[in-house]
Amino acid sequence: MDIRTTQRMAWDRKLAKGFNTTEVALEFGLLTAEIGGASTAWRKGLPDFGEELADVAIYVTALAEMMGIDLQSEVERKLNKNRERVYVRDERGVAVRVRDSADG
């Protein structure tokens, strides 16, 4: 399944269940709670960690649909942009971006 299909399915589920489809701030609050759930599952080594991550992805894709954003295109564009970025490690070993492309 691609991101675009996931985005549409998440939105259709929201419509079918009568969930929020207009309040962006509410969606960010709910997304934050889902991220907290994923963090807790990871920290405690719970078997539902993957399911919690799926919840985060579902909320993000539905939020993109709410805002009229083609998330698949945005993710593809951002991955390409990140691929071209050049990083070096500083004295602490932290990767620091020095250029947006390998060419200059």
Nearest to 70 by CA among 8, 2, 1, 4: 4
Nearest to 65 by CA among 53, 76, 57, 55: 57
Residue 69 in 3-state DSSP? coil
Residues paired with 59 in a beta bridge: none
Domains and CATH numbers, the chain: 3-99 (1.10.287.1080)
Q: Specify whether the CB–CB gap between 7 and 71 falls below 8 A.
A: yes
pLDDT tens digits, one per residue of 16-37: 999 999 999 999 999 999 999 9
pTM of the predicted model, to two decimals? 0.86
Q: What is the pLDDT of residue 100?
A: 86
What percentage of the chain carries pLDDT values higher than 70? 97
Residue the block writes with tokens 């071209």: 84
